[in-house]
Amino acid sequence: METERSQNGDRPAVHPGPWRSPATASSLPSRLRDVWTEHVGASEQALLMSWAALGGTFGTARAITHRLRGRGGSGGIVFRGRHIHHYNFGIGLLAGVGAVAVHGQVDSRRHPLTATSYGVGLGLILDEFALLLDLRDVYWGTDGRTSVDVAIGTIAAAGLYLAAAPFWHSAARELGRTLLPVHDGT
């Protein structure tokens, strides 16, 4: 495939090459990696990594706290008798990401660790959103908890898609090529 820089300089402009038979083409993971580098710019990659980290962190935090709660106790970290909510760690991560952003170097702002840290921090905060909204410990309360879980899960899933829609569309085409091989007529 022939590529050149697009006008915005972020994402390469891609000119589709001839379709290859899956038998002669590289493996699906290799083709997906090519789609990632050819169709998803650095900003979109950072967005996708942030949203994936948000969704993964939110799910992991929910699972861990429910498991800890099932064993008895507060379901969290206790230091000298004080329950330390995990949104505090999220705030710390977002403060660190903010410091990187203020520093101003594009490579640092778009670095995978920065993007992932942002998503993790946001996931830790959003997991305890009901607590922050009511300013009292309602984490285990039934009032509004289900709706908050559904809303945040939906936001994470939608963001994961929207952050890199071109990647998902191209990945679906590659998957389709693998599952339904196109014959070149010979």
- When mean pLDDT is compared over 39-53, 130-144, 165-179, the highest value belongs to 165-179
pLDDT digits (tens, 9 = 90+) for 140-159: 777 557 657 766 787 888 78
User: Residue 41 pLDDT > 60, yes or no?
Assistant: yes
113-120 mean pLDDT:
94
As a whole-number percent, the residues of the chain with pLDDT over 90 amount to: 20
Sign of CA dihedral 25, 30, 33, 38: negative
pLDDT tens-digit map of 66-103: 888 777 766 678 888 888 889 999 999 999 999 999 98
Which residue is listed with tokens 């064993």?
A: 71
CA distance 142 to 77: 22
> For the chain, what is the mean pLDDT?
79
Question: Where in 70-130 does DSSP place strands (E)?
Answer: 77-79, 82-84
pLDDT at residue number 4: 47
When comparing pLDDT for 137 and 108, which is higher? 108
pLDDT at 2: 41
Domain residue ranges of the chain, discontinuous segments joined by +: 43-164
Average pLDDT over residues 114-140: 84
Tell me how far CA of residue 19 lies from CA of 8, 42, 152, 171, 178, in angstroms: 27, 26, 40, 15, 12
**pLDDT the model gives residue 161:** 83
Q: Dihedral, CA atoms, 121, 126, 127, 128, nearest 10 degrees? A: 110
Q: For 182, which DSSP code?
A: P
Give burial (CB, 10 Å; 0-12/13-18/19+) of 90: buried
Average pLDDT over residues 49-58: 89
